[in-house]
């Protein structure tokens, strides 16, 4: 199993944190991982992305060539990446921030993470809601290991972030049930 994941959106949305948490969770599960964040000229508000590769075997190239999973938190990020996906790519997008292009080139999964975050506590946890949804649908890592890493990485905000991950996980599971 090898999965290439890209988190893309605007600087300040916590994309680097999403990538870091996913990478550390995969490492805790003894998987091979390559991870790299990148930011545009303007960190807050500019295009930002984080790439993570998870594999059971040695990773020979640390960059994402063709994403298996694309997680989009801004229209600019979607517009930048949509031409680079294949029909096999799962695209998770924040339906509050992104309008998708039709006809769809890949599987699109709508998660209203910004709206859910605002209802839960703060728009700042939209990234954790999205991460929970991604893990709920893809099962890239276990939920219990994800919780442990979220606790370690988010410190005094751990409970708020864990609630957001739980909410996202539920949204992801609900999305799966609706597709059946």
- Spans of all domains in the chain: 2-179
Question: What's residue 179's pLDDT?
Answer: 58
pLDDT band at 11, cuts 50/70/90?
confident
Query: H/E element holding 101?
Result: none
CATH class (in words) of the domain with range 2-179: alpha beta
More confident residue, 149 or 11: 149
Please tell me the pTM assigned to this model: 0.91
Least confident of 23-32, 42-51, 164-173: 42-51
pLDDT band at 125, cuts 50/70/90?
very high
Nearest 10 degrees: Cα torsion 3, 54, 18, 153: 160
Phi and psi at 111, nearest 5°, equal: -130, 120
Question: What's residue 40's pLDDT?
Answer: 57
């Amino acid at each position: 199993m090898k999965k290439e994941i890209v988190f893309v959106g605007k600087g300040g949305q916590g994309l680097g944190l999403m990538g870091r948490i996913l990478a550390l969770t995969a490492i805790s599960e003894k998987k091979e991982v390559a991870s790299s964040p990148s930011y545009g000229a303007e960190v807050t508000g500019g295009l930002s992305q984080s790439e993570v590769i998870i594999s059971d075997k040695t990773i020979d190239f640390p960059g994402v060539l063709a994403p298996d999973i694309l997680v989009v938190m801004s229209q600019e990020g979607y517009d930048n990446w949509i031409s680079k996906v294949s029909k096999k790519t799962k695209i998770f997008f924040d339906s509050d921030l992104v309008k998708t292009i039709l006809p769809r080139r890949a599987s699109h999964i709508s998660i209203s993470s910004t709206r859910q975050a605002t209802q839960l506590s703060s728009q700042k946890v939209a990234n954790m809601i999205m991460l929970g949804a991604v893990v709920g649908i893809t099962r890239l890592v276990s939920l219990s290991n994800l919780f442990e890493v979220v606790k370690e990485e988010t410190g005094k905000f751990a409970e708020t972030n864990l609630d957001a991950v739980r909410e996202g996980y539920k949204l992801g599971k609900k999305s799966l049930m609706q597709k059946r």
